[in-house]
Structure formats: structure tokens, C-alpha cells
Amino acid sequence: MLIRQNVALAPLTTLGVGGPARFFVEALTEAEVIEAVEFARSRQLPLFVLGGGSNLVVSDAGFAGLVLRVGIADVSNCTAPNGVVIFDAGAGFDWDALVAQTVDAGCAGMECLSGIPGTVGGTPVQNVGAYGQEVSETIQEVRVLDSQSLQIKTLSNADCSFTYRSSIFNTTERGHYIILRVSFTLRPGGKPNLHYADLQKFFANRPGEPTLAEARMAVREIRRGKAMLIVPGDQDARSVGSFFKNPIVEQSFFEQLSERLRSRALQLPSYPAADGFRKLPAAWLVEHAGFSKGYVKGAAGISHQHALAIVNRGDATAADIIALKDEIQSHVFDEFGIELRAEPVLVGF
């Protein structure tokens, strides 16, 4: 196992900012993951596990410990006695390639999660979701290394406590487990999920029932239109996707805010959430706090295609990105009394 020193992290992220890792290792097997954790432990180094780098802001100082990239990247599938198909993939397997395989195999359940950058191992952490699906709907088990006991465990879906953009991996057990593999339960011959408004609009004037492959293609097209698909050369795609979570507020707060905005002739959009709560589109709040698409703040800015994507306009530093994040959060708070929560993981801050 090759442990490298002072490895630039910016090129390993979609945002492309930040300094180096003091130590860096890519582990290709479970044994190497254990070896890497032991290396960090023996030198009392903090450990950070890197996936596809698509939801990460690395500080300009970099990370003064060991960055571990889990490169376990095999995939297999089998049909269970009850007819469902289980896809089992290493944490380092490319997420969109897995989605493509499931769609090619005629299996439904993750077609709406097409075009999302990153690796399989990153998806349970924030319960990746888009266009009407979340990975929590298909995850069967997550195989992990307990970084304290160095035991390998298998967590069930329920063990992961999935909610919107959240799981034990980014809350109560943050830093405790290293994800090694994830298995997903898919429905062979299942129909694509076309409930999301953007998808309904996409297929509105097309005859016939869309196939899984057409749903996948549609999601990728819609994402491309919002610069949420990594297209080489598309400067608006140099981002972490959504920089903020969509805030979930109490129904009473939502009603008061809606009323106040109505008096300014503004209609506040919202979506259902748990009983007594509403989910608000952070992108709308950002725009109505004065940040239009294409907003520029030095080398950082907001995507021309989507108000929720902070972009690196070329040679931004992490400090430039954070300054814009802070500015947006403070304006949204002043305007609406809502604290936007950052969605990406901040490393080395």
C-alpha cells in the first residue's frame, strides 16, 4: 500500500478548491482500509475518508492527517428468492455507472438518481436523493469498518436511520464507520418513478410509457439543463451541486412567512414534509434574498443555471467559496429568518 505525502486534494473534488493532504492513500481492499486506519492511529493522525469528492469543500490549508480513498470497486448482482435483484457494489464504484447497470438490467429503483457525481460509498452518508427517489428506498445493507474497534459490521437499512439528506454517518456516528460496500434491492421489470414535476413536464407531450432507460436519459437531460451534470468544460458544473439543504420549517412559521411575503406579492413555494412541517426550496430563498443566477463574488459565484450551486469560476480559493456561503446565509437569515445549512462536508476548517 503506497502512502503518498502532500497530495493536492483540489483536483480530486468537483469544486476544485483547497490545499493538500499531509498523507494520502488509496485502499483497494478491505485489508488495506484496515491497514490505513492503523497507520493513522499509530501516528495519531486525523483520518478523512474521501469518496468521489463531489460534495466536499477542502480548506486552503488542506488536511493535516491521512486522507483515505476507498477504491474497492467491484460490483455484482444476484436474484433473491423473492424475485428482487440485489446489486452489491464496492464503496469506490462510480455511482452513475451503477445506476446505468441497474437500468440496463431492467431493474427499477434508482433510475431517478442518474447523473449524480461521486461514488457508491458516499450515497448512504447524506442519503442522496433526486427527482423523487432517495437511496434509502433501495439500500439493503451497508458494510462498514468500525474505525475504533477495527471490526467489520453489516448495518441494515434501519440501522442507518435515514432521513432527508441525513443518516447516522453524518450525524450521531460521524467519523465512526468507514463504508466498504453497499447493497441495493431493485425491482426487475419495475416501472420508472415519474412523479417529480420536472419529469412529468419532460414526458408530457411524448407518446407511450417511458422506459427505465428513457427516465434515466430524461434525468440526465434535466440535470444538464441545471448544470448539475458534470460536463467537462462547463464552468457552472464546477460545484458541489446544491450548496444548501432545503430547510424544513414548522407549518406555523411557514404560514406566517407566506402571509408576510404575500403582502409583497410574492408566492412562497413549498413541499410537504413530516406532519406539522413544510420543506422550502433553498434556491428560491437564495434568489429572493438578492442573489440571482450568475452572481459574481470575485473568483466564486452562483451558477447561471441554478441558484443553489456555488461555483468556482476558475481560480477560487476555499476562502472565496466560504465568503460567498457566509454572505448568502446571512442575507437569507436577514430576509426570511431562516438559517440555511450547508450540504457539503467541510474538510480541514
Q: Based on the shown chain and the rule CB under 6 A, indicate whether residue 343 belongs to the binding site for ligand EPU.
A: yes
Cβ proximity to ligand EPU: between 114 and 147 the closer is 114
Type and span of the H or E element at 285: helix 282-288
Q: Residue with CB nearest ligand EPU?
A: 241
Q: Give the single-character DSSP code of 118.
A: S
Would you give the binding string for ligand EPU spanning residues 180-209, x where CB under 6 A is met?
A: ------------------x-----------
Give the interface segment with ligand EPU, choosing from 138-146, 240-248, 253-261, 318-326 (CB under 6 A).
Answer: 240-248
Per DSSP, the three-state class of 58 is strand
Say how many residues touch ligand EPU, by CB under 6 A: 19
Closest CA to 164 of 247, 95, 240: 247
Alpha carbon distance 96, 85 (integer Å) = 18
Would you state the cell numbers that stand for residue 172, as one nine-digit string?
450521531
Q: Based on the shown chain and the rule CB under 6 A, indicate whether residue 56 belongs to the binding site for ligand EPU.
A: no
Cβ proximity to ligand EPU: between 116 and 316 the closer is 116
Q: Based on the shown chain and the rule CB under 6 A, indicate whether residue 278 belongs to the binding site for ligand EPU.
A: no
Active site residue 242: yes
Active site residue 174: no
Beta strands in the chain (DSSP E): 4-8, 20-27, 47-50, 56-58, 63-70, 75-79, 85-90, 107-108, 129-130, 133-134, 139-146, 152-156, 177-188, 248-250, 271-272, 277-279, 296-297, 300-302, 310-312, 345-347
Q: Which of 37, 49, 66, 283 binds ligand EPU (CB under 6 A)?
A: 283
The DSSP line for 203-243 is: HTT--SPPPHHHHHHHHHHHHHHTT-S--TT-GGGSB-S-S
Q: Based on the shown chain and the rule CB under 6 A, indicate whether residue 246 belongs to the binding site for ligand EPU.
A: yes
Cβ proximity to ligand EPU: between 186 and 282 the closer is 282
Per DSSP, the three-state class of 294 is coil
Strand-strand pairing, 47-50 and 63-70: parallel
Q: Based on the shown chain and the rule CB under 6 A, indicate whether residue 294 belongs to the binding site for ligand EPU.
A: no
Write down the least CB distance from residue 300 to ligand EPU, Å.
17
Would you state the cell numbers that stand for residue 237, as one nine-digit string?
458544473
Q: Give the single-character DSSP code of 10.
A: G
Type and span of the H or E element at 282: helix 282-288
Q: How far is C-alpha 282 from the geometric centre of its chain's CA atoms? A: 16
Cβ proximity to ligand EPU: between 91 and 282 the closer is 282
Cβ proximity to ligand EPU: between 69 and 293 the closer is 293
If phi > 0 it is left, if psi is from -120 to 50 it is alpha, else beta; for residue 213 that is alpha
Would you give the binding string for ligand EPU spanning residues 106-135, x where CB under 6 A is met?
A: ------------------------xx----
What residue type is assigned to position 265 of the chain?
Answer: A
Closest CA to 32 of 53, 2, 7: 2
Write down the least CB distance from residue 244 to ligand EPU, Å.
6
Q: Based on the shown chain and the rule CB under 6 A, indicate whether residue 242 belongs to the binding site for ligand EPU.
A: yes
Say which of 165, 181, 223, 278 is annotated catalytic.
Answer: 165
Cβ proximity to ligand EPU: between 19 and 109 the closer is 109
Q: Based on the shown chain and the rule CB under 6 A, indicate whether residue 238 belongs to the binding site for ligand EPU.
A: no
Q: Which of 293, 301, 312, 320 binds ligand EPU (CB under 6 A)?
A: 293
Q: Based on the shown chain and the rule CB under 6 A, indicate whether residue 234 belongs to the binding site for ligand EPU.
A: no
Alpha carbon distance 286, 288 (integer Å) = 6
Residue pair 314/220 in contact by the 8 Å Cβ criterion: no
Cβ proximity to ligand EPU: between 36 and 257 the closer is 257
Active site residue 165: yes
Q: Based on the shown chain and the rule CB under 6 A, indicate whether residue 307 belongs to the binding site for ligand EPU.
A: yes
Write down the least CB distance from residue 92 to ligand EPU, Å.
20
Q: Based on the shown chain and the rule CB under 6 A, indicate whether residue 306 belongs to the binding site for ligand EPU.
A: yes
Which residues are near ligand EPU by CB under 6 A? 130-131, 198, 226, 228, 241-242, 245-246, 269, 281, 283-284, 287, 293, 306-308, 343
The residues that are catalytic are 165, 242, 343
